[in-house]
Chains A and B, each alone.
Chain A
Amino acid sequence: MSKGDVAVTGLGLVTPAGTGVAATWEGLLAGRSLAARDPLLAGLAVDFSCASDFDAAGALGRRPAARLERFSAMALIAAREAVADAGLDTTAWDPLRVAVVIGASSASMEHYDQAFAWMAAGRPDRVSPMAIMRSIPNMPAGEVGLDLGARGPNLAVSTACASGATAIGVARDLVRAGSCDIALAGGSESLRARSTAVGFHQMRALSTRGHDPEGASRPFDADRDGFVLGEGAGVLVLERPAHARARGARPRALLRGYGASCDAHHTVAPHPDGRGAADALHAALADAGLTPGDVGHVNAHGTATKINDLTEYRALARVFGTPPPVTAPKSVLGHSAGGSGGIEAACAVLTLQHQLIPPTANLDNPDPGLPLDIVRKAPRRARLTTVVSNSFGFGGQNAVLVFGPA
């Protein structure tokens, strides 16, 4: 263990594979895509998604479920699970020393169609007064603070599809700096909104494999044609190892390194050589005091867009020469934007704990232009001491997390 390591003492997940860490891990190991036709998107060019069966009213009660957007409700349940998993007593902690940092790529669009429809109909007076307060991107963090009585630093981080990973990195820095003793960090987002689906489809980012939703999310496959909309939340509990030790908590893993960078190349297209992604990988490894040769596994960003997977491959080849085994959880869970970074960080921690790499779904025809060792068909046992999780966002914003065993 080195000086800057931060302990991961708890995990919480809500994903298309179910509510809770166990359900998600099981779903990842099963290695089947969870995409299906989505009634919320009926009639649109892309009418399928990876939806979670998360029931906000059942989990939180009618009143909070009516008030909260899905990204806040999922964040609350993931945070509650993470706190319980960490063995934290919310009545006993010093609330001013508990930070919450949750990433989201944008405001929640869940109810805006209705608001825009009223405006278009000349009735702005009928727009819900709750439209802003329920949807602004800092609300998952704010609601988690409210729910758990966590009164320390509380903020959202927005780096598009890297938001969840960046949130964990920023929270790690708050813990390291002593700005808090405990941080609840991750991401939460639902892309299952009609305007979101239309927007991403118009930019040609989504898979249009409507005849075969289950086969649509196929990272690193030659026949990939875009990502699949998803939803979910992933929250980690972070503490300084001495703080965890003092309260008798057993960490699941150590967060050893964090690297962030910007492509500074194009608004949304990644640098063709994966320059920014490689920069973030180098920075994260340097931060951890490790070298590329120490890394046993990469949890890829792997969105299944043509360009992401190509430039991610180039970044990996650039940093590792021959990259270690890779997996792409978005093949199973779809892409929940800000949620994915948190979910995949939790996945990386579980991979390390179980010494088991979940498979990438739908990799029937690996792209010969991306010669990677991608785990497919079945989980693979591996002796892992260092696992890396990649997250890259529009705006060229990149975040890489490095985990090691506790």
Chain B
Amino acid sequence: MSSSTYETLTETLITRIGIDPERLAPERTFAELELDSMALVELAVALDEHTDSLLPLEGLSDLTLAEAADLLSAPTAGR
């Protein structure tokens, strides 16, 4: 897991979605954080400013934050 990408992801979850920082952990899934489809697309677009890859929306809800961070640091993922 890329730690800088993970930080970008959690920072975006905090500032754009309003997730309480205490609820964040690498093994948490987006579903556990109660992100609905609108919040997931908001997150994906917000992250696009800061990362190499666009998060794929399909199946995103069940990914952990660590898995999402890995996808975001892989240059071709989701494109």
A contact set with B: CB distance below 8 Å? 57, 61-67, 125-130, 133
> Does residue B58 face the partner (Cβ distance < 8 Å to A)?
no
Asked if A62 and B18 make an inter-chain contact with CB atoms under 8 angstroms apart, the answer reads: yes
Residues of B within 8 A of A61 (CB): 18
Q: Is the CB of B15 within 8 A of A66?
A: yes
Set A65, A128, A129: member contacting B18, Cβ < 8 A: A65
| Structural contact, B49 and A63, CB atoms closer than 8 A | no
Other-chain contact of B45, A57, A65, A127 (Cβ < 8 Å): A127
Q: Known A66-B15, A133-B38; judge A128-B20 contact (CB<8 A).
A: no
In the assembled complex, B60 has its CB within 8 A of some CB on chain A: no
With CB as the reference atom, state the residue of chain A lying closest to B34. Answer: A63
**Cross-chain contact B42 with A129 (CB below 8 angstroms):** yes
Q: Which residues of B contact A128 (CB under 8 A)?
A: 42, 45-46
Q: How many Cβ-Cβ contacts under 8 Å join chain A to chain B?
A: 34
Cross-chain pairs A/B with CB under 8 angstroms, 15 sampled = A61-B18, A62-B14, A62-B19, A63-B17, A63-B19, A63-B20, A66-B15, A67-B17, A67-B18, A126-B45, A126-B48, A126-B49, A129-B42, A130-B38, A133-B38
- How near does chain B come to A142, taking the closest CB pair, in angstroms? 14
Contacts of B45 in A (CB 8 A): 125-129
Residues on the B chain within 8 Å of A63, using CB: 17-20
Mark B1-37 against chain A: 1 for CB-CB distance below 8 A, else 0.
Answer: 0000000000000111111100000000000000000
Chain B residues lying within 8 Å of A64, measured Cβ to Cβ, are: 18
User: Can you name 10 extra interface pairs (CB under 8 A) apart from A67-B18, A130-B42?
Assistant: A62-B19, A63-B19, A65-B18, A66-B16, A125-B45, A126-B49, A128-B45, A129-B42, A130-B38, A133-B38
Chain A residues closer than 8 Å to B15, beta-carbon distance: 66
CB distance from B79 to the nearest CB of A (A): 12
- The chain B residue sitting closest to A64, CB to CB, is B18
Q: Which residue of chain A is the closest to B17 with respect to CB atoms?
A: A66
Cβ contacts under 8 Å, B20 to chain A: 62-63
**Roughly how many angstroms separate A149 CA and B17 CA in the complex, as a whole number?**
23
B38 touches A129 (CB 8 A): yes
Contacts of A66 in B (CB 8 A): 15-18
Main secondary structure, interface of A, reads: helix
Name the distance in Å between B52's Cβ and chain A's nearest Cβ. 15
- Set of chain A residues within 8 Å of B49, measured between Cβ atoms: 126
Residue B63 at the chain A interface, CB threshold 8 Å = no
Chain A minimum-CB-distance residue to B37: A129
CB distance from B33 to the nearest CB of A (A): 10
A127 CB to closest chain B CB (Å) equals 7
The residues of B that contact A125 with a CB separation of less than 8 Å are: 45, 48
Docked Cα-Cα span, A63 to B13, in Å, equals 10
B3–chain A nearest beta-carbon distance, Å = 24
B39-79 residues at the A interface, CB under 8 angstroms: 41-42, 45-46, 48-49
Cα distance, A127 to B48, chains bound together (Å): 11
Docked pose: A62 CA to B19 CA in angstroms = 7
Contacts of B48 in A (CB 8 A): 125-126
Check A129 against B17 for contact (C-beta < 8 Å). Answer: no
- Please measure, in the bound complex, the distance between the C-alpha atom of A57 and the C-alpha atom of B48, giving whole angstroms: 25
A57 cross-chain contacts in B, Cβ below 8 A: 18
Q: Which residues of A contact B46 (CB under 8 A)?
A: 128
The answer for the CA separation of A127 and B19 in the assembled complex, in Å, is 21
Nearest B residue to A60, CB-CB: B18
Which residues of B lie under 8 Å from residue A130 when comparing CB positions? 38, 42
Q: CA separation between A237 and B16, bound complex, in Å?
A: 33
Taken together as a complex, chains A and B put the C-alpha atoms of A23 and B5 apart, in Å, by: 45
Q: Which residue of A lies closest to B39 (CB)?
A: A67
Cβ–Cβ < 8 Å partners of B14 in chain A = 62
